[in-house]
Amino acid sequence: MMNEFKHISVLLSESVDLLDVKPDGIYVDGTLGGGGHAELVCSKLSGDATFIGIDRDMTAINAASERLEKYKDITKIVHSNFSDIKEVLKDLGISGIDGAILDLGVSSPQLDTAERGFSYNMDARLDMRMNQEDRMSAYEVVNEYTEGELSKIIFDYGEERFARQIARAICEKRKEKNIKTTLELCEIIKGAYPAKKRFQDKHPAKRTFQAIRIEVNNELGILRQAVCDFVDALNPGGVLSVITFHSLEDRIVKQAFSDLASGCECPKDFPICVCGKKPKIKLINKKPIVSGDEELRNNMRAHSAKLRAVKKI
């Protein structure tokens, strides 16, 4: 039921406004979630349009399907990963789209549902899978990765400066018994933190949990190619809006957009271009759009959100 998946869409009007929705166009939400962005897009479409919603979380699929019931004649809801956009469009017989939104990261219901194992504030089995059909969960990462592997992902994906100490503590603890729950892991992380740093502005487990979640769901591994595939799928004049929630995501999106917006890559001393590279897109906003004061007051998860958008040439 939809009331089981309550999620406040971040930068809702800003991301949809950038799409400049055509009433008879074809639009995609690659991270459907509870359907907030999707509902606003669909409200601007006519009966001749097509809207495609993609999500790997069946709870989100079910909630969004209910929310979008009144638009069922123009919507196609697909249980898949946004990184599979080319295959999704091929299966639907669609050769090009007029716009798309990607709202990256974990949704509020995933964080707030204890048994999903995303939260360091609620006790549950270590899980963190966005797609419950995936084999690998946080349990496998925590209990099977080597100390070096754990240290690397906690440092790279969590930007955690105490990554080595945390990885060492995890490996020492699991010699006694496997680590099964979120609060067990939290206590290990707290114990690995220097006492003076333990209760500063951020929960000591925040960065490690982020890192493990990213690893479990391969969030960064698929992102750059997915951005390129979405751009390839756009019709001329089509727009891609991407909302990121941490610096690693934003850096990947920013660099991908920069590369796709650049032309000739020949050395500067070449008299003429021989590489033949042409820009595929133009940047709509060079600096990311962030939430205003009102949204920041009403939604804590908006504080780290950044919106970037591009238009297909």
How much of the chain, in percent, has pLDDT values that exceed 70?
A: 95
Alpha-carbon radius of gyration of the chain: 21
Question: Identical fold at 2-105+220-312 and 135-217?
Answer: no
- For residues 42 and 19, is the Cβ–Cβ distance under 8 A? no
pLDDT at residue 14 greater than cutoff 60: yes
Contacts of residue 105, defined as CB under 8 A and 6 or more positions apart, other chains included, come to 219, 244, 245, 246, 249
Which one has a higher pLDDT value, 276 or 244? 244
Distances 208 to 67, 120, 187, 215, 281 between C-alpha atoms, Å: 34, 10, 12, 11, 35
Q: What are phi and psi of 236, to 5 degrees?
A: -50, 130
pLDDT of 6 higher than 80: no
Q: If pLDDT is split at 50, 70 and 90, which confidence band does 117 have?
A: confident
pLDDT in tens, 90-101: 999 999 999 999
Residue 1 has pLDDT above 70, yes or no: no
The CA distance from 192 to 59, in Å, is 35
Give me the pLDDT at residue 268, please. 87
Residue 308: both structure tokens together: 């970037």
Structural class in CATH, domain 2-105+220-312: alpha beta
Tell me what the mean pLDDT of segment 111-138 comes to: 90
Q: What is the mean pLDDT of residues 12-29?
A: 98
User: What's the confidence (pLDDT) of residue 61?
Assistant: 96
Q: What is the reported pLDDT for 198?
A: 76
Domain ranges of the chain: 2-105+220-312, 135-217
- Per-residue pLDDT band for 2 (boundaries 50, 70, 90) equals very low
CB atoms within 10 A of CB 75: 21
Of the pLDDT bands very low, low, confident and very high (cuts 50, 70, 90), residue 3 is: very low
Please write the tens of the pLDDT for every residue from 237-255: 999 999 999 999 999 999 9
Please determine, for residue 272, whether its predicted confidence score (pLDDT) is greater than 70.
yes
Q: Which two tokens stand for residue 29?
A: 């939400």
Confidence of residue 70 (pLDDT cuts 50, 70, 90): very high
Q: Report the SS3 class of residue 313.
A: coil
Question: What pLDDT does 184 receive?
Answer: 97
Per residue in 167-223, pLDDT tens? 999 999 999 999 999 999 999 999 999 888 776 768 899 999 999 999 999 999 999
**At 4, is the pLDDT very low, low, confident or very high (cuts 50, 70, 90)?**
low
The pLDDT of residue 23 is above 60: yes
Higher local confidence (pLDDT), 75 or 6: 75
Ranking 77-81, 145-149, 270-274 by mean pLDDT, the lowest is 270-274
pLDDT at site 86: 98
**pLDDT tens string 38-48:** 999 999 999 99
Phi and psi, residue 270, nearest 5°? -75, 130
pLDDT at residue 300 in the model: 84
CATH level 3 topology of 135-217: DNA polymerase; domain 1 (1.10.150)
